[in-house]
Structure 1
Amino acid sequence: MSKKVLIHSLIFSPDGVSTAYLYNDIALRFQKEGYEVVVLSTTPHFNVVEEQLAKQPLKWKIPGIYKESDFHGIKVMHVPQKKFKSTALRILGFVYWHIISFLLGLCIRNVSVIVSPSPPLSIGMLNLILGKLKGCKVIYNVQEIYPDILKKKTGPIIACLKKVERCIYNKSAAITTIDDVFYNTIVSRFEDPNKLHIIPNFVDTDLYNPTNVEPLDENIFPKTDSLKLLYAGNIGHAQDWRPLVALVDKTKDLNVEYFVIGMGVQRSYLEQQKAEKGLDKLHVLDYQPRHLMPSILAYSDVQFIFMAPEMEMMGFPSKVYTIMACERPLLICSGDKTPIVNFTKDYNCAKLITEKDFDKKVDEMAQWLASVSREELQKMGRNGYDVIQRYYTKEKVTKQYVDLVNKIL
């Protein structure tokens, strides 16, 4: 009988966000290596992509309780979840998901190992209980460090979360995290540091590559000779949008345009600033289909990521891999020795702005845009592409997850 992997994740296909795409490929690799794979997740609610829903339809298994779908022969169980505007409803939905997913987890037989990513932190504790009851191993993947990432740093709730965090780290069979910065941040919280492993994120180079390009709608992406800076993803608190607004304003007289594609709580701020300041060269667009993203990346000259100072040590945008895989250079605004700066600094694939003074860093970015040549940008893009091919393809990295599971079982 083949060994069974239960992937327990808040996000999975057909939801259209980066964590889902990562775990889709991890699940498929376990299946390819002979494991039986079952996924316990939610209904799509972060980025609902109708095209993906059509390919992977969800059907009620127990009406009102959970749905099922088939992902390339892998059974996926979806607990209903919505992205409520009301905080109370979000909390209620979150609690409901925990209860139902725990009960469903108990019903899945012969599980050898449970694998899950953060966030949320609570999923790690839930899996420890499931693992104890089912007699299986638990692997917890630290994509974001909780409670460090929270704005509040003290108080009884934070103290409780820190205890939960340490319990997860020390009771799990193994913990993985994505880079040296994360490793060095949390390793002192382990009784046995040998449990902590670095497995980076990765990119699907079958999809994200410089040759996978198709025509775009010129009404949305007009063909011009301007230098095009682009960001695609969640427009949330993890990024600092104030420097972007200042940069767009400062470079009004340059032949530069800016595109922000996505949704999130900070989108209204961008749209408000665009209207108030007359930022005609700032284009705020809705999410685009995933299969068009390589073409959209190819449309741009530079991809920008401006990390929020309060979040820059606690997360690493996986979009960095997709950008590099498509031979596009980056403009990165983040503090020195942060994960994104540490990752890119030796590869000459990004312009790094680590200046803390707001006006100075905006000036530095504006001066760079005014002086950089397209030849320099193309060389930076090729450098990034070469790095991805050497170290960060899905084939190379997903094998590390399989090797880790083989080691602990």
Structure 2
Amino acid sequence: MERRDLKRVLIHSLVFSPDGVSTAYLYNDIALGLIENGFEVIVLTTTPHYNLIESELVKQPIGKKLFGFYYQSDFKGIKVYHIPLKKYKSTFKRLVSFVYWHVLSFIIGVSIKKINFVLSPSPPLSIGFISLLIAKFKGAKAIYNVQEIYPDLLINQGNLKSPIIISLLKKFEKCIYNYSAAVTTIDEVFYATISSRFSEIGKLKIIPNFVDTDLYKPLNQKQDLPAVFGSDNGKIKILYAGNIGFFQDWGPVLFAARELLEENIEFWIIGEGVQKEFLEIEVQKQNLSNVRVFPYQSRELIPMINNYADIHFIAINQQMEQEGFPSKVYTIMACAKPIIVVTGLNTPLYNFLKDKNCSELITNNRNVNFTQAIRKLAFDKELRERLGNNGYAEIIKNYSKKVVVSKYANLLQSL
């Protein structure tokens, strides 16, 4: 039976369980955390379309409603509405699917009884607008969570060049910011970037992302991995697990692999993405026998894989390093592992890590310095353990799920 005394939050997100991507995991945890903090939660999202794992689809079956106009599932007691969104090859079909998702999201959203808050993360920018409309019709308050800054990201990638469209999107962005009851962003760099776009700066809050420390934690000893990884060959493992796309800089990785080909070091790259084929071709073409590329693995396996690796790395494309923050840095730190990070000065990732003494930060001469950092950590186990333990202590203190979700709960209560 519905509890009338509880405030109800509609989470409106492009991805949610059973999608296997970081934003989905983040909002799965936020949804459950808000319930623990005394809220009701309902979710409005897409049909599963990102890093799908059969076992997760079996655990959360999607039921057809109204002949397939939309679908519905249950995530640990939370009702989830899924609007169809497909990755068509045709640009026109993808656009039609995208518009359909927006229109039906609005219709379903306004049909849901008793909504007090609408919480939506970017991307896309347009989700904030639909959330605003739903909130307006329902007499609710909209909270927009800036995970990536649009249209800045599209402009800096070179995907958006029309002055007219850029101007319209910037006005659209300001409209979403200024009509929302509150806007949250993940760090001080993002805050500084968008603060001038607000007429009422008090609406903008910093709430960082977080990690589930019940799932991601140090393990006392290495555990056996699935057969796809083969048996342990005794080499130092340096790992990247995540999206293999344009946000990453693969140049320093390929350079380091060539330089370290004859040393007792092996690169593991796990995931999917638009640059995976390029990476596999380069590894084969350059005969990089010390680089192994694996398919995407389930979330439940990542803590084990994180602990299995000796060193982790994240290398960010210089053109995009101001526009995002890879949440995997939290999960690596939570497993007490050291990180080598290639990024520029005063980027979100640099500013987060610079005073935590849990990583090697490479800000210039990327190829050579990245290679040297690998050698340095590979042959200094004590340093690896010290950096890893520093990162773990920071996570437990400031970035656990309980600590950060309580900030979202407090924000909603304040509104």
Partner of 1:14: 18
From 130, 133, 136, the counterpart of 2:140:
136
From 317, 321, 335, the counterpart of 2:326:
317
Tell me how far 1:331 sits from its aligned partner: 0.7
- C-alpha distance in 1 between matches for 2:136 and 2:48: 29
Partner of 1:30, secondary structure, is helix
- C-alpha distance in 2 between matches for 1:366 and 1:398: 38
Give CA deviations for 1:74-128 in whole Å, capped at 9, x if unaligned.
Answer: 1000012223333333222211111111111111121101000000000011111
From 85, 89, 93, the counterpart of 1:89:
93
Partner of 1:306: 315
Tell me how far 1:302 sits from its aligned partner: 1.0
Map residues 264-275 of structure 1 onto 2, 5 A cutoff.
Answer: 264-275=273-284
- C-alpha distance in 2 between matches for 1:371 and 1:289: 31
Partner of 2:253: 244
Map residues 9-48 of structure 1 onto 2, 5 A cutoff.
Answer: 9-48=13-52
- C-alpha distance in 2 between matches for 1:45 and 1:236: 17
Partner of 2:347: 338
CA 242–88 in structure 1, closer or farther in 2 if over 3 Å, else same: farther
Partner of 1:23, secondary structure, is helix
Partner of 2:64: 60
- C-alpha distance in 2 between matches for 1:87 and 1:137: 34
From 156, 180, 185, the counterpart of 1:177:
185
CA 186–221 in structure 1, closer or farther in 2 if over 3 Å, else same: farther
CA 215–206 in structure 1, closer or farther in 2 if over 3 Å, else same: same
Tell me how far 1:245 sits from its aligned partner: 1.3
Note if contact 2:118-2:142 (Cα within 8 Å) is conserved in structure 1.
Answer: yes
Partner of 1:255: 264
CA 337–154 in structure 1, closer or farther in 2 if over 3 Å, else same: farther
Residue type matched to 2:393 in 1?
D
Note if contact 1:140-1:174 (Cα within 8 Å) is conserved in structure 2.
Answer: yes
- C-alpha distance in 2 between matches for 1:7 and 1:361: 40
Note if contact 1:214-1:292 (Cα within 8 Å) is conserved in structure 2.
Answer: no
Partner of 1:365: 370
Partner of 2:261, secondary structure, is coil
Q: Does 1:75 align with 2:79?
A: yes
Range moving further from structure 2, 246-255 or 314-323: 246-255
Q: Does 1:167 align with 2:180?
A: no
Tell me how far 1:18 sits from its aligned partner: 0.6
Tell me how far 1:219 sits from its aligned partner: 4.8
CA 345–221 in structure 1, closer or farther in 2 if over 3 Å, else same: farther
Residue type matched to 1:117 in 2?
P
Aligned residue-pair number: 404
Give CA deviations for 1:156-196 in whole Å, capped at 9, x if unaligned.
Answer: 11111100110011000000000000001100110010000
From 162, 183, 189, the counterpart of 2:197:
189
- C-alpha distance in 1 between matches for 2:23 and 2:376: 36
Residue type matched to 2:148 in 1?
E
TM, length-normalised to structure 1 = 0.96
Note if contact 2:9-2:39 (Cα within 8 Å) is conserved in structure 1.
Answer: yes
Identical residues among aligned pairs (%): 51
TM, length-normalised to structure 2 = 0.95
Note if contact 1:259-1:282 (Cα within 8 Å) is conserved in structure 2.
Answer: yes
From 377, 394, 402, the counterpart of 1:395:
402
From 204, 207, 215, the counterpart of 2:224:
215
Give CA deviations for 1:239-280 in whole Å, capped at 9, x if unaligned.
Answer: 111221121112112211111111110001101101111111
Partner of 1:352: 361
Tell me how far 1:218 sits from its aligned partner: 5.0
- C-alpha distance in 1 between matches for 2:244 and 2:17: 21
From 163, 177, 189, the counterpart of 1:155:
163
Note if contact 2:211-2:401 (Cα within 8 Å) is conserved in structure 1.
Answer: yes
Give CA deviations for 1:320-359 in whole Å, capped at 9, x if unaligned.
Answer: 000000011111001011000110111111110000xxxx
Residue type matched to 1:288 in 2?
Q
From 394, 397, 412, the counterpart of 1:405:
412
- C-alpha distance in 2 between matches for 1:342 and 1:221: 37
Q: CA RMSD in A?
A: 1.3
Range moving further from structure 2, 303-312 or 362-371: 362-371
Give CA deviations for 1:185-240 in whole Å, capped at 9, x if unaligned.
Answer: 10011001000000000000100001286421355143122121111111111111
Q: Does 1:106 align with 2:92?
A: no
Give CA deviations for 1:13-72 in whole Å, capped at 9, x if unaligned.
Answer: 111111111111111122122222110001110111111111111111222211111111
Note if contact 1:254-1:370 (Cα within 8 Å) is conserved in structure 2.
Answer: no
Give CA deviations for 1:257-307 in whole Å, capped at 9, x if unaligned.
Answer: 111111110001101101111111111110112111111011111111110
Residue type matched to 1:289 in 2?
S
Residue type matched to 1:129 in 2?
L
Residue type matched to 1:361 in 2?
R
Partner of 1:40, secondary structure, is strand
Range moving further from structure 2, 82-91 or 341-350: 82-91
Range moving further from structure 2, 77-86 or 292-301: 77-86
Tell me how far 1:10 sits from its aligned partner: 0.5
CA 4–230 in structure 1, closer or farther in 2 if over 3 Å, else same: same
Partner of 1:225: 234
